[in-house]
Amino acid sequence: MPVAPPLFPAEAAPLPDDFIGVTFVLTLCAMLAAAAFFFYESFQVSTRWRPSMRLSGVITAVSSANYVLMSMTWLSTHVRPLEWRYLDWILTVPLICVQFYLLLRTAGARPGQGMVWRLVGASAWMLGFGYVGQVIEPERTFFWGAVSTVGYALVLFEVSLGEARLAAGTGEAARIRETYGLLFYFIFLGWAIYPLAYMTATGNLLERWHDSLPFPVLYNLGDALNKIGFGLVIWKLAVSRGEEAARVSAG
């Protein structure tokens, strides 16, 4: 009977001093655990919050699948898996933007669908030009990084001053202002890890940190923090709103 090959070949095992490889595997495990947790908890919260919880599960599940590929690439070849990483981002970052829309709708606001398309379009701009600067034309990484940052700035504007922020302060949605503020800080501070890592690439502003601060480690940290943390904030809100509704019903 043929034996299935192992997921990670023996030669792909992380070395004791392979800190980057360890962070890939740890991030993979964290994404898998988070996906299982979010899907399980989606059956424990009230019906209105289930789409947001399940979307958090989808985001971390998709990311964990891509982290299998990224981990195998790094552990087998020690080549930075930028193509797989950008595939992960192009699938999951727009879904994180959709999460803002779902959150506001669930909380009682009425944001327009144009808000979603602006956020998704800005994130696609950011990722597309970032890919060009890191994979297609790395010799012009600074230029393409600057162009990519325009998309990041547009996302920040939309969630801090645009329609999303205005919707978060109206009607019943005003009661989730604290949660919205936490999610904004994930975008503002958590996502800032990515341009910081990008700038450590050869030919960019922080090139001198290229060896002492490996950008794969920063990218892995950013993914775990932003995707899992984002979902945990929404889970906490869903649980607290459910408990609040139960107290009101009990009278």
How does the average pLDDT of the chain come out, rounded?
83
pLDDT value of residue 12? 53
The mean per-residue pLDDT over the stretch 127-141 comes to 90
pLDDT value of residue 186? 82
Q: What is the phi-psi region of residue 63: left when phi exceeds 0, alpha when psi lies from -120 to 50, beta otherwise?
A: alpha
Query: SS3 breakdown of the chain: % helix, strand, coil, rounded to 5?
Result: 80, 0, 20
Rounded Cα distance, 55 and 7, in Å: 27
pLDDT value of residue 245? 61
Q: Which domains does the chain have, with CATH numbers?
A: 17-239 (1.20.1070.10)
User: Which range among 84-98, 120-134, 173-187 shows the weakest confidence by mean pLDDT?
Assistant: 173-187
- From residue 40, how far is each of 45, 60, 92, 230, 235 by CA, in Å? 10, 13, 20, 17, 11
Number of helices (H) and strands (E), helices first, in the chain?
Answer: 10, 0
CB 69 within 8 A of CB 81: yes
pLDDT value of residue 175? 67
Based on C-alpha coordinates, what's the Rg of the chain? 20
Higher pLDDT, 108 or 14: 108
Residue 239 has pLDDT above 80, yes or no: yes
Rounded Cα distance, 199 and 98, in Å: 27
Residue 43 has pLDDT above 80, yes or no: yes
Quick: pLDDT tens for 44-79: 998 989 999 999 999 999 999 999 999 999 999 988
The mean per-residue pLDDT over the stretch 25-48 comes to 95
φ/ψ (deg, to 5) at 205:
-60, -40
Quick: pLDDT tens for 148-160: 999 999 998 988 8
Residue 169 has pLDDT above 50, yes or no: yes
| Range picked from 103-117, 121-135, 203-217 for highest mean pLDDT | 121-135
For residue 213, the SS3 value is coil
pLDDT value of residue 72? 93
CB 172 within 8 A of CB 241: no
